[in-house]
Amino acid sequence: MDAAAERLAEIKGRIAAAQRRFGPPPERVELVAVSKTFGTEAIEPFLQAGQRVFGENRVQEAKEKWPALRERYPDLSLHLIGPLQTNKAREAVALFDVIETVDRDKLAAVLSSEMQRAGRMLPCFVQINIGLEPQKAGIEPVEAAAFVERCRTEHGLSVSGLMCIPPDGVPPGPYFAQMVALGREAKVEHLSMGMSGDFETAIAMGASFVRVGSALFGYRPPNTPA
């Protein structure tokens, strides 16, 4: 637990320092601890240290470990930050508190239907393929504002933000700056951008959620996204 508390304090300290250095906006930056691929024995020390917002990539993995943790820590908030298949939407609505990866009309429609059925109208983020990479999910930047509007008016979703994963191996700053412009155009409150290697740059550009995994939990097995 002591090691987890130290790593958590270090990351939160770096977030606070970035906020002081770069100034508003945003007034608040939320740390999403990315716990994908790690079991409850690795996650619980961070819960004990006070972290309450976590991110998972897969519905099935989340289903296996988070219901028991939620019984002990009912105030936690769980974000889905990985691709979502429509046939997993019902389970996702039951498990998660925020869906960060809405990226197509079919998924938006199914999520809306499942939320209404469950009586849980979750906040959603629209995922933007900010680097136009064919291997990544997300709406093309030029379509972002129109898609957000459809999600709100046609599908009835509560879209509160945009999310992105910039291309590897290039400076992320220009992509984060583009996300700020897209967020302004789409009239969303939040931007989820920045991971372990670049979250301070993301804060400089205006991130309100940063998704940090390896800097907290350590490195994952090879071929697992950071």
Per residue of the chain (226 residues), give pLDDT as tens: 689 999 999 999 999 999 988 876 667 899 999 999 999 999 999 999 999 999 999 999 999 999 999 999 999 999 999 999 999 999 999 999 999 999 999 999 999 999 999 999 999 999 999 999 999 999 999 999 999 999 999 999 999 999 999 999 999 999 999 999 999 999 999 999 999 999 999 999 999 999 999 999 998 655 554 4
Which amino acid appears at position 28 of this protein? Answer: R
pLDDT at 25: 63
Topology given in CATH for the domain delimited by 2-217: TIM Barrel (3.20.20)
Please give the Cα distance from 170 to 28 (Å, whole number): 27
pLDDT at 28: 87
pLDDT at 54: 98
pLDDT at 220: 67
Say what the pTM is: 0.94
